[in-house]
């Protein structure tokens, strides 16, 4: 089983979640953790399990993540199991009512990331997940790396049963 954790990150929080997931998966499989800018989607080959993470920016994933997901050939997706996550700010940590109303309408990055991959033929093992930062530049809220590790392990267990 080969796993690939792909992330984008401006301030390091999504990277920290990606690394926590990579470390959790290493116990049971071969895993690489890579920044999206270091990967050519056309050269993603032989990956059984892909975990993809983006910071939520303007209610969506970064351009690099979206382009990467759209650049992976459909015949690769056909045999890939995937999960998607984002990092985000909790609505209770935002003062702006307007912003919170917009969040209700436009949401976060992870769900559309999952939808792109599913539409292209991948098997989405779990509902997309958000991990919380305390403020724009972080840090991650306490316990989020552990929650991410457990979430990724849940995907493997689901796949093995
Ligand atoms: C330009 C910009 C737009 C953002 N938009 C959102 C948003 O729509 N929803 C949200 O929850 N957080 C938003 N954030 C907060 C980011 O989600 C947060 O900076 C990110 O999780 C940090 O991850 P990183 O350290 O990997 O970059 C935004 C931050 C910036 C700088």
Which 3-state string (H, E, C) describes the chain?
CEEEEEECCCCCHHHHHHHHHHHHHHCCCEEEEEEHHHCCHHHCCCCCEEEEEEECECCECCHHHHHHHHHCCHHHHCCCEEEEEEEEECHHHCCCHHHHHHHHHHCCCHHHHHHHHHHCCCEECCCCEEEEECCCCCCECCCHHHHHHHHHHHHHHHHHC
Q: Hey, whose CA ends up nearest to atom 31 of ligand 1?
A: 136
One digit per residue, the tens of pLDDT, for the chain of length 161 reads: 999 999 999 999 999 999 999 999 998 999 999 999 999 999 999 999 999 999 999 999 999 999 999 999 999 999 999 999 999 999 999 988 999 999 999 999 999 999 999 999 999 999 999 999 999 999 999 999 999 999 999 999 987 55
Sequence spans of domains, the chain:
2-160
- Residue 109 CA to ligand 1 center (angstroms) comes to 10
pLDDT for the residue 79: 95
pTM summary value:
0.97
pLDDT for the residue 154: 96
- Residue 14 CA to ligand 1 center (angstroms) comes to 10
60 lines ligand 1 (CB under 6 A): no
CATH class of the domain whose range is 2-160: alpha beta
Q: 19, 37, 52, 55: which to mutate for ligand 1, most atoms within 8 A of CB?
A: 55
pLDDT for the residue 95: 86
């Amino acid at each position: 089983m080969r796993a690939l954790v792909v992330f984008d990150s401006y301030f390091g929080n999504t990277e920290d979640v990606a690394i926590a997931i990579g470390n959790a998966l290493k116990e049971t499989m071969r895993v690489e953790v890579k920044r999206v800018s270091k990967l050519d989607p056309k050269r993603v080959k032989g990956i059984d399990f892909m975990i993809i993470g983006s910071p939520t920016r303007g209610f969506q994933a970064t351009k690099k993540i979206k382009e990467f997901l759209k650049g992976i050939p459909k015949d690769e997706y056909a045999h890939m199991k995937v999960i998607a996550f984002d990092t985000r700010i909790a609505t209770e940590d935002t003062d702006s009512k307007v912003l919170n109303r917009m969040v209700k309408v436009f949401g976060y990055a992870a769900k559309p990331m999952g939808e792109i991959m599913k539409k292209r033929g991948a098997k989405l093992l779990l509902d997309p997940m958000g991990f919380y930062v305390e403020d724009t530049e972080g840090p991650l809220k306490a316990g989020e790396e552990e929650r991410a590790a457990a979430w990724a392990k849940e995907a493997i267990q689901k796949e093995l049963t």
